[in-house]
Amino acid sequence: MTVPARLSATLVLVRDGGDGTPEVLMVRRADRGDQNSHAWVFPGGILDATDRALHAHFHDSDDAQASARLGLDAGGLDYWAAALRETLEEAGLLLAVDAQGRAVDAAAHAPRLAAWRAHCRTLARGEGGAAFAALCAEHGWRLPARVLHPIAHWITPHGMPKRFDTRFLLAEAPRDQQVVIDGVEIVDHRWVNPAQGPEEDAVMRGPARAVLQDLARHADVKSLLAWAAALSVATAIQPRLARDARGRLAPVHPSHPSFAEIGRIDPQGGGHAHSVIRAGAPVILSDRVQRLTANNGGLMTGPGTNTYLLRAARDDWVLVDPGPDDAAHVQATLALLKNLNATLRAILVTHTHIDHSPAARAVKAATGAPIHGRVADFPQGQDPGFAPDVPLAGGEALDFGGGLVLHVVHTPGHASNHLCYRHDRMLFTGDHVMQGSTVIINPPDGDMAAYLASLAALADDERFDVIAPGHGFLIEQPQRLLRALIAHRRKREAKVRAALVALRSATLDELVVRVYDDVGAERHPIARRSLLAHLLHLKALRRAQQADDGRWAAL
């Protein structure tokens, strides 16, 4: 059972270093035998139950204003209170003004502050806010709010033994004050360049690294403060736990390709999801879908080709994309079927490129399951032995019993015979949609106009909300991705047209360098195929023409 996340605040203090570049205060936590032991962090901690007592001592903001800056209905000023209180407790830095609005001379109050900090270590949990409020009342100190700017919001993943819901606030460090660590919770401190961090082998968690990366984009404290002041409400970032390539549990950022899949198969961080594709290792995606990835990863295949098994009735299963002509992958597939005590009812093929269909014959020979699919219009260079027992055109609803109905969608473009299969809000897309990259459109079987039309048709289809691609992890928000792919292709085609206008006349090799200048030269031979598809599309639109010598020009 996951533990609740405790509300906390941390203060990112910055100052101009000797060379004019920003420095940020980082402190190192003591060894408490937990996930944050020895970690370099920013001063901060958990909100105390009595931090509300400090509201009356803020002179330039109230709870409603602070809450609005955090996107909360109420309680926002508690984060400001906790950040200032914890910074004083841990680092000995006081951000406060006197009755005349002048910065408090912390050095003049050093003995009193030292005694107060020692007293705080004897308090029961939750009483720190009241103690700080009493200190402020005794000396007439007022606390600033407007100089603290919310810059980030991180929530610890489910599955961690301690979880925090943390708001990061940024402020300029008080001048003429020296850091004095408490020596109990904090055992060291550094003023560091955000681009470098405390030291090369420092223990530092993802949120701290992400904040440093944001700070490193700015040349001085003035620009940092201006950036922070202009930010809107920070979106909460909550990583998910999954096992990495070494089998270790580690947080996975929402931007990682595996993030959506982890949330579907292991939302509580139990440790059975992985952030890497592991060839030959079955992955249970749902109670009726499993994935097995071939060991054929590479430039064209990403982490490898995915084979999917879908359960129909109790022991009846259907296979989508048997994969390449690879004996090890075939044996792994058959072993998984045996482990499931499965009878294979059908083999479905999305298209006949050699990383997707050739294994169909070996699987059929071992199981007797019929092959479903479609023959390519231009089969040269594809699976030469593909011969479906059940030819598909698109539009069929294949009922395999047990509630498993697969709707066949013809999606030409990457290949003329490309098919997607939809079931229960999930779309199996083969190579029509790949994770993390665009697909190659290779004429004559590949057709850019057909591809764009296929993408548009799926983008308007609300009957699925997750994509199971031929390469990579499950993908959520598919319509958004499909529209982004269309926009990318349109942008690339506009670039082709602009290059034609600028060069007046050009060969494919001359164009690919200009049109794909954002792609490494090692990928240009592959990009050349899609470039030709774009040119043929422009030719069909009467916006480009090809001369007898093979050179292209704008129309």
Q: What is the mean pLDDT of residues 504-508?
A: 95
Given pLDDT bands bounded at 50, 70 and 90, which one contains residue 2? confident
294 within 8 A of 470, measured Cβ to Cβ:
no
Q: Which pLDDT score, from 0 to 100, does residue 346 have?
A: 98
For the cut 70, the answer to whether the pLDDT of residue 20 exceeds it is: yes
* Residue-range domains of the chain with CATH: 6-230 (3.90.79.10), 241-273 (no CATH), 277-476 (3.60.15.10), 485-554 (1.10.10.10)
Q: Which two tokens stand for residue 550?
A: 């093979």
Given pLDDT bands bounded at 50, 70 and 90, which one contains residue 405? very high
Through-space distance between the first and last CA atoms of the chain, rounded to whole angstroms: 65
Number of separate helices (H) and strands (E) present in the chain: 13, 24
For the cut 70, the answer to whether the pLDDT of residue 31 exceeds it is: yes
Give the residue from 374, 498, 390, 481 showing the smallest Cα distance to 427: 481
Sequence-ordered alpha helix ranges (H) in 121-255: 128-139, 206-215, 221-230
Lowest mean pLDDT among 16-20, 99-103, 245-249, 452-456: 16-20
For the cut 70, the answer to whether the pLDDT of residue 41 exceeds it is: yes
**CA separation for the pair 247, 544 (Å, rounded):** 53
Task: Render pLDDT for 160-170 as a digit per residue (tens, 0 to 9).
Answer: 999 999 999 99
DSSP string, 334-378: HHHHHHTTPEEEEEE-S--STTTSTTHHHHHHHH-PPEEE---SS
For strands 22-29 and 40-41, give the pairing.
antiparallel
Sign for the pseudo-dihedral over CA of 265, 270, 275, 280 = negative
Task: Render pLDDT for 171-227 as a digit per residue (tens, 0 to 9).
Answer: 999 988 999 999 899 999 999 999 888 877 778 888 999 999 999 999 999 999 999
- Model-wide pTM > 0.75: yes
Q: What is the mean pLDDT of residues 399-407?
A: 96
For the cut 70, the answer to whether the pLDDT of residue 30 exceeds it is: yes
Give the chain's mean pLDDT: 95
Given pLDDT bands bounded at 50, 70 and 90, which one contains residue 1? low
Q: What is the mean pLDDT of residues 239-265?
A: 95
Given pLDDT bands bounded at 50, 70 and 90, which one contains residue 309? very high
Task: Render pLDDT for 332-367 as a digit per residue (tens, 0 to 9).
Answer: 999 999 999 999 999 999 999 999 999 999 999 999
Q: Which pLDDT score, from 0 to 100, does residue 24 have?
A: 97
For the cut 90, the answer to whether the pLDDT of residue 36 exceeds it is: no
Q: What is the mean pLDDT of residues 408-434?
A: 97
Share of the chain above pLDDT 90, in %: 90
